[in-house]
Amino acid sequence: MKPLEGVTVLEFSTMITASFAAMMLAEQGATVIKVEPMNMGDPMRYIGANKGGISSLFANCNRGKRSIRVNLKESQGQELIRELVPQVDIFIHNFRPGVMDKLNLGSEALRELNPRLIYTAISGFGKEGPLGGAPAYDPIIQAQAGLTATQGKEEPAFFRTLICDKITAYTACQAVTSALYVREKTGAGQHIDLSMLDAGLFFVFPDGFQNHTLLDPDHVPGPLLIDLLYELTLTKDGAVTISAATDEMQMRSLIVVGMEHLLTDERFDSFEKMVANLEEFKAEVAQAFLQLTTDEALQRLQAADVPCARCLDKEEVLAQEQLAANDTLDVIEHPIMGQMRVVKSPARFGGQRLTPARPSPDHGEHTKEVLAEFSVSQDRIASMTDQGIVA
C-alpha cells in the first residue's frame, strides 16, 4: 500500500509548481485529478521534446494523474467543481491571488462546503505587498530570492534548472502532508498559502546568506561554504571535483599530490591564514593536479578516502552503475508517447521503491470517467459536453 492511498487531490495549474507537487503526491498513492482549460490545457504540454502532442516536460511533471477538461469561465463549470469538492481531500492551484475567488472557487467558499478540505494556494510573491499580484516564473524568483547573487561571483548567475519552481513544489508537498497529519488529529482541514519567493529564500538562506544572518556588530564574518567547496580542479586531460571538508581530508588530498608541505608554509599554517591567502593556496595545488590525468587523480583520491568525482555528462549520469544498484530508473510505456525513461520517487517506504504511477494523461482523457465516479449522470455529462462545459 502506498502512503497516500485514499487521498483525493484536485489540481488546477499551469507549468511546474502545482503540477510537480501533485505528481509527487500521486507517486505516493494519491488520486490526482488535473482540471485543465478547454482549449489548450496546461501550456506545459507543448514545451520542448514531444511526441503525439505531449512534451516530455509535461510527462515528467504529470504522471499518475487523470485529466478532465472543464470550462471554468462558465458558471456551470464552476458549479461542477463545487459539487466535486465535498469528496476531495486536497485542492491545489498556482494561479495569481484573487483568480480563484473570481471563479467562485476560493478557499473560504470551498472549505464551507468541505471543512476537511486542505486548500493550497501557490503564488509567486504572496497575497500582499507591492508584488502581490505580479506574474512570476522561475528566473524571476531566482533573481528576487538571491539565488543569482549566490551563484555569481563577478556578476549574477542562474541555476540552469527550474529550481525555485521545484523547491516550491517540494515545500507544498511537505506542507500538505503536515496538514493531513493535523487533520487526522483534529478532523479539520485548513488553508495553506505558499509563495515561490519565500520558498526560494528559505532554500538558499542557510548557506547562501551565512554572512547576512548574525546582526550583532561583534560577529566575525567567514568564508561561504560555496567558495570553499564548489570549484573544479583541472587535470592534465579534464577535471575533478574534490570536497575535502575536514583538516584530515585536506591533508590526505595534499599528500596524494605531494603538496602536504603547504600546511606548514607560513602563508597557510592556520585556517585563518589559508582563507586569507586562499587564491595562492589554490594556485599551488592546481599546478600539482595538472601533472595528473583525471583517472590518476581519482584513483589516488579514492584510495585516500577523499570525497571526489568526475563531472559526468548526462549520458554518463544515466549509465552509472550506482543508479542501477539503487534501482533509480525505470522504462514505462506511454500509450501516446511510447517508451519513456522515468526516475522513480526517491523515498523508500519499508525499504522498497514505489513503483512509478500511471503515465501522464492526454488533455481531458478522463473527463467522463472521473465525473461518473463522482456520481454525475451520463445524461448530464452528455448535456454539458454539448454545451462546451466539459470535454
CB-CB contact of 391 with 69 (8 Å): yes
Q: Is 165 exposed, middle or buried (0-12, 13-18, 19+ CB in 10 A)?
A: buried
Check pLDDT > 90 for residue 156.
yes
Confidence of residue 230 (pLDDT cuts 50, 70, 90): confident
Q: What is the per-residue burial (b if ≥16 Cβ within 10 Å, else e) of 171-209?
A: bbbebbbebbeebeeeeebbbbebbbbbbbbebbeeebe
pLDDT at 157: 94
DSSP code of residue 354: P
pLDDT at 335: 95
* DSSP 3-state of 64: coil
Fold of the domain spanning 8-205+347-386? Rossmann fold (3.40.50)
Angle, helix 163-186 to helix 196-208, in steps of 10 degrees: 110
Confidence of residue 345 (pLDDT cuts 50, 70, 90): very high
CA distance 22 to 9: 8
Q: What is the CATH number of domain 231-311?
A: 3.30.1540.10
pLDDT at 299: 96
Cell of 87: 469528496
Check pLDDT > 90 for residue 231.
no
Q: Is 322 exposed, middle or buried (0-12, 13-18, 19+ CB in 10 A)?
A: exposed
Confidence of residue 274 (pLDDT cuts 50, 70, 90): confident
Cell of 29: 498513492
Confidence of residue 240 (pLDDT cuts 50, 70, 90): very high
Cell of 24: 509527487
What's the mean pLDDT in 329-344? 95
Check pLDDT > 90 for residue 133.
no
CATH 3.40.50.10540 in the chain, residue ranges: 8-205+347-386
CA distance 343 to 355: 10
Q: What does the angle CA 109 – CA 12 – CA 69 come to, to the nearest 5 degrees? A: 105
CATH 3.30.1540.10 in the chain, residue ranges: 231-311
Nearest to 173 by CA among 30, 68, 15: 30
CA distance 319 to 132: 44
What's the mean pLDDT in 266-280? 82
Check pLDDT > 90 for residue 207.
yes
What's the mean pLDDT in 298-319? 94
pLDDT at 213: 92
Check pLDDT > 90 for residue 137.
yes
Q: Where are the beta strands (DSSP E) in 238-347?
A: 239-242, 308-310, 329-334, 338-343
Mean pLDDT of the chain: 94
Check pLDDT > 90 for residue 223.
no
What's the mean pLDDT in 330-358? 93
CA distance 2 to 347: 12
What's the mean pLDDT in 105-117? 98
Confidence of residue 273 (pLDDT cuts 50, 70, 90): confident
Check pLDDT > 80 for residue 271.
no
Check pLDDT > 90 for residue 332.
yes
